[in-house]
Structure 1
Amino acid sequence: MPERQRHGSSIGLPLTRRDGPDKVTGAARYSADIRPDGLVHAVMATSTIAKGRVTHLDLAAAEAHPGVIAVMTPDNAPPLAKSPDEKDNPFAFRLNLLQDHTVRYAGQPIAVVVATTLEAATEGAALLSPRYESEAPTIGLGEGGIFTPDSVGAGSPTSDGTGDMEAGLAAADARVTATYETAGQYHNPLEPHCSVAQWDGDRLTLHTPSQALWIAKARLAGFFGIPPENIRVVCHYLGGGFGSKGFLSPPQILGIMAAKLTGRPVKLVTRREQMFGPVGHRSPTRQTLTLGATRDGALTALGHHTLSQTSAYDDFFEASGLVARHLYASPAISTTHEGSRADIGTPIFMRAPGEASGSVAVESALDELALALDIDPLDLRLKNYAEVEPITGRPFSSKALRGCYAQGAERFGWDRRPRAPRAMRDTDGLLVGWGMGTATYPAGMMQGEARATIRADGTALIETAAQDMGQGAWTVLAQIAADGLGLSLDRVTLRIGDSDLPNGGLAGGSTGTATSGTAVHAAAQAVIAQLADLATTDPASPLYGAGNAGVTASEGRLARRDDPARSERFGDILARAGKPSVAAKGQGAGEPASRKTYAMHAHGAVYAEVKVDPDLGQVRVTRLVGAFAAGRIVNPRLVRSQYEGGMIWGLSLALHEHAAHDRRSGRIVNANLADYHVPVSADLPSIETILVEEHDPHVNPLGIKGVGELGITGTAGAIANAVWHATGVRVREIPITLDKLLT
Structure 2
Amino acid sequence: MSDIALNQNPAHQRHGSNIGQPLTRREGVLKVTGAADYAADHHPAGMLHAVLAVSRIARGRVASLDVAAAKAHPGVVEVMTPQNRPALAEDPDAKTNPFMFRLDLLQNDRVRYANQAIAVVIAETLEAAAEGAALLAPRYEVEPARTGLDGDESFIPKAVGVGNPAAVSRGDVEAGLAEAALRVEAVYDTPAQYHNAMEPHAIVAAWDGDRLSIDTPSQGLAMAQGRIAGLFGLPPQNIKIRSPYLGGGFGSKGLISGPQILGILAARLVGRPVKLTLKREHMYGPVGHRAPTRQTLRLGASTDGSLTALHHHTRTATSTFDDFFEPASDVSHTLYATPALATSHEGVRLDAGTPLFMRAPGEATGSIALESAIDEMAFACGMDPLAFRLKNYAEVEPISGKPFSSKALRDCYRQGAERFGWSRRTLQPRQMRDEAGLLVGWGVGTATFPALMFQAKATAIIRRDGSGAVEIGAHDMGQGAWTALAQIAADGLGLDIDQVDFVSGHSDLPDAGIAGGSAHTATAGMAIHKAGEEVIAKLAALATGDERSPLFGAGNAGVTAREGRLMRRDDTSRSESYADIMSRAGLDRIEAQGASAQDPAAAGAYAMHAHGAVFAEVKVDPDLGQVRATRVVGAFAAGRIINPRMVRSQYFGGMIWGVSFALHEQAVTDARSGRIMNANLGDYHVPVNADVPSLEAILVEEHDPHVNALGVKGVGEIGITGTAGAVANAVWHATGVRVRSFPITLDQLLV
> In structure 1, what is the Cα distance between the partners aligned to 2:352 and 2:486?
42
Cα offset, 1:38, TM superposition = 1.0
What is the CA deviation profile of residues 419-454 of structure 1, one whole-angstrom value per residue up to 9, with x for unaligned ones?
Answer: 111111111111110000000000010000000111
Q: Provide, for residues 444-468 of structure 1, a one-character-per-residue CA deviation record: whole Å limited to 9, x for no partner.
A: 1000000011101111111000100
C-alpha distance in 2, partners of 1:143/1:270? 29
For 1:175, the equivalent position in structure 2 comes to: 183
Aligned to 2:7: none
Taking the aligned partners of 1:685 and 1:445, their CA distance within structure 2 comes to 32
Residue in structure 2 matching 1:668, options 659, 663, 676 = 676
- Pick one of 403, 418, 422 that aligns with 2:430: 422
User: What fraction of aligned residue pairs are identical, expressed as a percent?
Assistant: 67
Letter of the 1:133 counterpart: E
* Corresponding residue number in structure 1 for 2:461: 453
Q: 1:318 maps to which residue? A: 326
> Secondary structure at the residue paired with 2:87?
coil
The equivalent of 1:599 in structure 2 is: 607
Give deviations 1:22-65, integer Å, cap 9, x for gaps.
10111111111111111111000000000010011111110011
Find out whether 1:394 has 2:402 as its counterpart: yes
Equivalent residue, structure 1, for 2:124: 116
Deviation of the 1:295 alpha carbon: 1.1
For residue 6 of structure 1, report the CA deviation from its aligned partner. Answer: 9.3
Match of 2:10 in 1: none
Counterpart in the other structure of 2:525: 517
Q: Which among 62, 65, 76 is matched to residue 57 of structure 1?
A: 65
**Residues in 2 aligned to 1:569 and 1:443: alpha-carbon distance in whole angstroms:** 38
Contact 1:420 1:725 in 2 (8 A): yes
- Name 1:93's counterpart in structure 2: 101
Kept in 2, the 8 Å contact 1:592–1:700? The answer is: no
1:695-706 paired onto structure 2 within 5 Å: 695-706=703-714
SS at match of 2:724: helix
Residue 446 (structure 2) pairs with residue 438 (structure 1): yes
Partner of 2:280: 272
Matched, 1:653 2:658: no
Return the match for 1:542 from 544, 550, 557. Answer: 550
Verify: 1:203 aligned to 2:211, yes or no: yes
- Separation (CA, whole Å) in 2 of partners of 1:7 and 1:562: 23
Cross-structure match for 2:363: 355
Whether 2:261 is the aligned partner of 1:253: answer: yes
Aligned-partner Cα distance in 2 for 1:80–1:232: 19
Q: Deviations over 1:173-209 (max 9, x none)?
A: 1100000000000121010001010111000111111
Q: Give, as a single letter, the amino acid of the residue that structure 1 aligns with 2:124.
A: T
Write the mapping of 1:306-385 to structure 2, written as runs, cut at 5 A.
Answer: 306-385=314-393
Deviations 1:405-431 (A, max 9, x none): 000000000000001111111111111
Report the counterpart of residue 628 of structure 1 in structure 2: 636
CA distance in 1, matches of 2:132, 2:17: 57
What is the CA–CA distance in structure 1 between the aligned matches of 2:472 and 2:96, rounded to whole Å? 25
Q: Distance in 2 between matches of 1:194 and 1:542?
A: 56
How far 1:391 sits from its partner (Å)?
Answer: 1.6
Residues 40-79 of structure 1: pairs in structure 2 closer than 5 A: 40-79=48-87
Q: Does 1:718 align with 2:723?
A: no
Deviation, structure 1 residue 88:
2.0
Cα pair 2:466 2:582 within 8 Å, conserved: no
Q: Distance in 2 between matches of 1:118 and 1:590?
A: 47
Say whether 1:238 aligns with 2:251. Answer: no
Residue 565 in structure 1 maps to residue 563 in structure 2 = no
How far the C-alpha of 1:742 sits from its partner, in A, is: 1.4
Contact 2:406 2:702 in 1 (8 A): yes
Q: Look up the equivalent residue of 1:265 and give its one-letter code.
A: P
Decide whether aligned partners of structure 1 residues 68 and 591 sit closer, same or farther in structure 2, where only a CA change above 3 A counts.
farther
The TM-score, its normalising length taken from structure 2, stands at 0.98
1:302 correspondence with 2:297: no
Residue 220 of structure 1 pairs with residue 228 of structure 2 = yes
**Contact in 1 for aligned 2:364/2:720 (Cα 8 Å):** yes
- On the 8 A contact 1:445/1:591 being kept in 2, the answer is no
* TM-score normalised to structure 1 length: 0.99
Q: Deviations over 1:512-567 (max 9, x none)?
A: 00000000010111100010011010111111110011111111011111211111
Out of 472-481 and 163-172, give the one that drifted further: 163-172
* Cα offset, 1:7, TM superposition: 6.8
Which consecutive residues of structure 2, in runs of 5 or more, have no partner in the other structure?
A: 1-12
Paired amino acid for 1:285:
T
Q: Is the 8 A contact 1:161 1:325 kept in 2?
A: no
Q: Look up the match of 1:158.
A: 166
Residue 328 of structure 2 aligns to a residue in which SS?
coil
Does residue 686 of the first structure (1) align with residue 690 of the second (2)?
no
CA distance in 2, matches of 1:322, 1:429: 40
For residue 469 of structure 1, give the secondary structure of its aligned residue in structure 2: coil
Q: Does the 8 Å contact 1:444/1:591 carry over to 2?
A: no
User: Do 1:10 and 1:483's aligned partners in 2 also have CA atoms closer than 8 Å?
Assistant: yes
Residue identity opposite 2:694 in structure 1: S
Question: What displacement does 1:145 show?
Answer: 0.6
Q: Would the aligned equivalents of 1:447 and 1:591 in 2 still touch at CA under 8 Å?
A: no
Q: Which residue of 1 aligns with 2:137?
A: 129
- Per the alignment, residue 3 of structure 2 pairs with none
Q: Which residue identity lines up with residue 531 of structure 1 in the other structure?
A: L
1:229 and 2:229 matched:
no
2:417 is the alignment partner of 1:409: yes
Counterpart AA for 1:309 = A
- Cross-structure match for 2:489: 481
Contact 1:142 1:309 in 2 (8 A): no
Deviation at 1:740, TM superposition (A): 1.0
Q: 1:524 to 1:546 in 2, by over 3 A?
A: same
- State how far apart, in whole Å, the 1-side matches of 2:201 and 2:600 are: 34
Aligned to 1:734, the other structure's residue is in SS state coil
Deviation at 1:591, TM superposition (A): 5.1
* Distance change (3 Å), C-alpha of 1:128 and 1:408: same
Aligned to 2:472: 464
Report the AA paired with residue 725 of structure 1. H
SS in 1 for 2:603: helix
- Tell me the amino acid that sits aligned with residue 417 of structure 2: A
Q: Distance in 2 between matches of 1:249 and 1:17?
A: 29
Instruction: Note the 1:603-622 alignment, pairs <5 A.
Output: 603-622=611-630
Following superposition, the deviation at residue 725 of structure 1 comes to 0.3
Output the CA distance in 2 between the equivalents of 1:712 and 1:575. Answer: 52
Q: Secondary structure at the match of 1:513?
A: helix
